[in-house]
Amino acid sequence: MKLRLNVFLIDYVWYIGERFYRQEKSPGDGNMLIAMCWYCTLFLPLSSIINRLRIPAVIQIAGTVFLLIIPFIFCRIRYNPRRKESIRLRYKNKRNWGRRLLVVWGFLIMIVAMECIVLIKIGLWHIGT
């Protein structure tokens, strides 16, 4: 049940981005919003951990590149035309997309701030020299 709830949350975030893109002709769509959520919530700590491991630089770069392309692969596989239509039908009666998009961005900013504090406290990031 929890996995299903997480997938519905991801679909909801995708649809918010997609709907706002279509209504306002904004530069980012649902796939870009999913990618930004990935980068802000998981990419920063995972790339920091990969770069702290005592492994060769080539493997670190390959791991970081792999982390960069995960959201695009996910969106390409998950959001085919049939699934896009079913998601649109599920959320078509929702309103206030701009406000919902603002809430998503607000949560992302809070998560990034907390991640930065935690990564500094545990010593993965350093301030100054």
**Residue-wise pLDDT tens digits, 67-117:** 899 999 999 999 999 999 998 888 877 777 778 778 888 888 998 899 888
Q: In the prediction, which pLDDT does 8 show?
A: 83
- Domain for residue 45, yes or no? yes
Q: Using CA atoms, how far apart are residues 87 and 83, in angstroms rounded to an integer?
A: 6
Within a domain: 10: yes
> How far is CA 62 from each of CA 46, 72, 128, rounded to the nearest angstrom?
13, 16, 28
Q: pLDDT tens across 48-72, in order? A: 888 788 889 898 889 889 989 999 9
pLDDT of 55: 87
Contact 60, 69 (CB under 8 A): no
Any domain includes 127: no
Domain ranges, residue 78: 2-121
pTM for the model: 0.78
Alpha carbon distances (Å) from 80 to 1, 51, 73, 77, 84: 23, 34, 12, 7, 6
pLDDT band at 41 (very low <50, low <70, confident <90, very high): confident
Q: Work out how many domains the chain is built from and give that number.
A: 1
Q: Using alpha carbons, select from 42, 39, 25, 31 the residue that is nearest to residue 80.
A: 31
- Give me the torsion for CA of 97, 26, 92, 104, rounded to 10°: -40
Asked if the structure places residue 128 within a domain, the reply is no
